Amino acid sequence: MSKRSNPETLRVLQLRSRLLGALRAFFAARDFLEAETPLRLATPALEDHIDAVPAAGRWLRTSPELHLKRLLAAGASRIYQIGPCFRLGERSERHREEFTMLEWYEAPGDSTSILATTIDLIRACSKALDCRQDYFAREPEILPLAEAFRRHGLDLDAAIAAGRFEEELCFQVEPHLGFDRPCFITDYPASMAALARRKPGFPELAERWELYVDGLELANAYGELTDPVEQRSRFLATAALRRAARREVYPLDEAFLQSLETLPPCGGIAVGIDRLLMALVEAKDIADVLNFPEE
């Protein structure tokens, strides 16, 4: 049984409905098509730190990314999807095993064009919900990942070499990001962006950024990798890492890899809807913005 009162439940339902309405209005005004992709997959994307939930011989999607890119390869240019995603073993004040994801893709596009769209979208949501408009109107900070580590007395390369990257990022860097204005962390190492293309002129870096508000990660964006040979190589490298760690290794998605042969230059992003609402209303626990927090 939920401990939330009926008026509190109704308020959350209203906020979520207004947010979803604002998102769909934003994309409709920019000629995006709303897409639907399968919930149960023959194989999820191979990513090092994301585990899929088994579902009767298949897996529940961790993201609609691979299928959305296949739609881009088929000729779509601006598409988005809002819907449930699932990641095994994720539960905390900021995580749930089942959560709501927004993903969108722009072709032609890259990580820079996606960043500009993201700023516009979040400002539109803030206005629609009449929440934190002064905060989101501020010019965001653009901060390279290595500099974010240096500000807190840390060395990014040393953390990666010692296998401490996730620990230091989550516990010593992230909690300080995005308090006076939104913060975009850029220039991730290419090894930490399995589906992003390399940054022109800086092949050791990826076209990847993440958005932080109040120490909370809201979004993860890529200038998308379109080279099927490099993508296969990256998937195989991730498979080797997962195998060495005795984690489940998923089959390669051959249909997706084939689609990369016709995938146009594009940018893409994943935004956690539950976390976005947390940031807008300044909630500290994801349970405070879910319709059914105790289930």
* pLDDT given at position 49: 86
Q: How many residues does the chain have?
A: 295
**252-290: pLDDT as tens digits:** 999 999 999 999 999 999 999 999 999 999 999 999 999
Q: How confident is the model at residue 295 (pLDDT cuts 50, 70, 90)?
A: low
Q: Checking DSSP bridges between strand 33-34 and strand 78-86, what pairing results, if any?
A: parallel
* pLDDT given at position 6: 87
Say what the alpha-carbon torsion angle 110, 112, 113, 118 is, to the nearest 10 degrees: 120
Mean pLDDT of the chain: 95
* pLDDT given at position 244: 94
Q: How confident is the model at residue 5 (pLDDT cuts 50, 70, 90)?
A: confident
Q: Which fold has domain 6-289?
A: BirA Bifunctional Protein; domain 2 (3.30.930)
Q: What is the pTM of this model?
A: 0.95
Cβ proximity of 26 and 128 under 8 Å: no
* pLDDT given at position 1: 40
**164-222: pLDDT as tens digits:** 998 999 999 999 999 999 999 999 999 888 899 999 999 999 999 999 999 999 999 99
**147-167: pLDDT as tens digits:** 999 999 999 999 999 989 989
Q: Is the pLDDT of residue 52 over 50?
A: yes
Q: What is the mean pLDDT of residues 228-240?
A: 95
* pLDDT given at position 194: 87
Give the domain ranges of the chain. Answer: 6-289
Question: Rounded distance, CA 127 to CA 136, Å?
Answer: 9
Q: What is the mean pLDDT of residues 43-47?
A: 93
**Of 90-94, 96-100, 180-184, 204-208, minimum mean pLDDT range:** 90-94
User: Which residues have C-beta within 8 Å of that of residue 43, sequence separation ≥ 6?
Assistant: 59, 250, 251, 252, 253
